[in-house]
C-alpha cells in the first residue's frame, strides 16, 4: 500500500482517486518516503510534476450549470465528462480533503491548483513553489469547517432510505440543500425538490428495496447504496452517497453513480445473504464480494 500522504496529495491535484493511485505507483521509485505529517521533498516534487502532466478539470454537476427546476422531468446525463471522485478514508492523510475543497481546487487552472496545494497544505514558501512551477501564485481556498457527524441523524437518514420514506428523507435536509449525482448533469436545490426528485426517479418502490452500508469518504459521512433487482431479488451496487452536514441537518449530498467506485472502496458488487425483505426481522447480512 502506498503512503496515504502521496495519494492524498495527488488526489487534491487530480480530483480522482483512480488517477492518484496510478501516480503514486508511478512515483514510488523516487526512493524517498513520506514523512509523518507531510511528504518528503523529492516525493512532493515528483508527484506534483506527474500530476501536472495529466491534470485537467474534474467538476461536479453544480459547477456546470444552474439547478434544475423540474425534478419530475428527464434527467440530463453526460458520461463523457471526467467527473470528480470521492476518496476512501484509508487513503486520506488527515489533512483538509473534503469534497467542497476538492471541487474548489478543480475550478482553478492546474498550475495554480498545484501552487495552492503546495502552499496551503504542504506549507511551502512562495519562492520554493516558483522554483518548481515557475511564476505562479496560490489561489486562496477555504475548506468547510468540519462538523462532527450526528450519528442519530445519520441513522434516521439510513432508515428513511431503507424504508423508502420520502417525507422522512426530505425532513433531514436544509431548505437550501443541494443534491447532485454525476454523471447526471441535472442537479437540484432545496429539500422539497430533492423529495420530488427521489419520488419520481428513484427505482425503489417499497421498504427493503434499498440497503445502505455506512462509509467515510473525504472525511465526511457516506453510504454505499444497494438496490434490489426485482428480476432476481438480489441487492446490487447502485450508488455511493457522500453527505455534508450542518449541526442539525444535511446541506449537500453527492450520489456517485460510477460503479467502479465500489471497487475503489473495496465494496462488493452484490450483497450476499439478504432476505427478500431486510425488514422481515432477520439479522443484517455479512457483506462479501460475489465474483
Q: Which domains does the chain have, with CATH numbers?
A: 4-133 (no CATH), 151-264 (3.10.450.50)
Distance of CA 160 to the CA centre of its chain: 21
Region for residue 139 given its phi and psi (left: phi exceeds 0; alpha: psi -120 to 50; beta: otherwise) = beta
CB atoms within 10 A of CB 68: 20
pTM of the predicted protein model: 0.90
Question: Residue 280: what pLDDT?
Answer: 57
Which stretches of the chain score pLDDT less than 70?
1, 29-40, 274-291
C-alpha distance from residue 98 to each of 11, 85, 109 (Å): 11, 11, 19
Question: Residue 38: what pLDDT?
Answer: 52
Question: Residue 276: what pLDDT?
Answer: 60
For 214, the grid coordinates are 455506512
Amino acid at each position: 500500500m502506498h503512503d496515504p500522504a502521496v495519494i492524498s496529495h495527488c488526489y487534491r491535484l487530480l480530483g480522482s482517486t483512480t488517477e492518484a493511485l496510478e501516480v503514486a505507483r508511478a512515483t514510488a521509485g523516487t526512493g524517498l518516503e513520506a514523512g509523518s505529517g507531510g511528504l518528503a521533498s523529492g516525493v512532493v516534487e515528483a508527484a506534483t510534476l506527474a500530476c501536472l502532466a495529466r491534470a485537467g478539470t474534474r467538476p461536479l454537476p453544480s459547477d456546470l450549470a444552474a439547478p434544475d427546476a423540474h425534478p419530475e422531468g428527464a434527467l440530463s446525463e453526460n458520461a463523457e465528462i471526467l467527473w470528480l471522485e470521492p476518496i476512501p478514508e484509508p487513503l486520506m492523510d488527515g489533512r483538509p480533503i473534503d469534497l467542497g475543497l476538492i471541487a474548489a481546487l478543480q475550478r482553478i487552472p492546474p498550475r495554480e491548483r498545484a501552487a495552492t496545494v503546495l502552499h496551503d497544505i504542504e506549507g511551502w514558501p512562495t519562492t520554493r513553489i516558483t522554483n518548481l512551477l515557475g511564476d505562479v501564485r496560490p489561489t486562496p481556498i477555504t475548506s468547510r469547517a468540519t462538523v462532527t457527524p450526528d450519528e442519530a441523524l445519520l441513522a434516521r437518514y439510513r432508515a428513511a432510505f431503507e424504508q423508502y420514506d420520502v417525507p422522512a428523507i426530505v425532513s433531514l435536509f436544509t431548505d437550501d440543500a443541494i443534491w447532485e449525482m454525476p454523471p447526471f448533469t441535472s442537479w437540484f436545490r432545496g429539500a422539497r425538490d430533492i423529495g420530488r426528485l427521489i419520488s419520481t426517479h428513484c427505482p425503489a418502490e417499497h421498504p427493503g428495496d434499498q440497503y445502505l452500508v455506512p462509509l467515510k469518504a473525504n472525511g465526511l459521512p457516506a453510504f454505499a447504496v444497494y438496490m434490489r433487482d426485482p428480476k432476481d431479488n438480489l441487492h446490487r451496487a447502485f450508488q455511493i452517497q457522500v453527505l455534508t452536514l450542518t449541526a442539525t441537518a444535511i446541506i449537500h449530498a453527492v450520489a456517485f453513480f460510477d460503479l467502479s467506485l465500489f471497487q475503489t472502496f473495496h465494496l462488493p458488487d452484490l450483497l450476499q445473504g439478504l432476505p427478500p425483505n431486510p425488514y422481515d426481522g432477520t439479522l443484517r447480512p455479512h457483506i462479501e464480494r460475489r465474483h
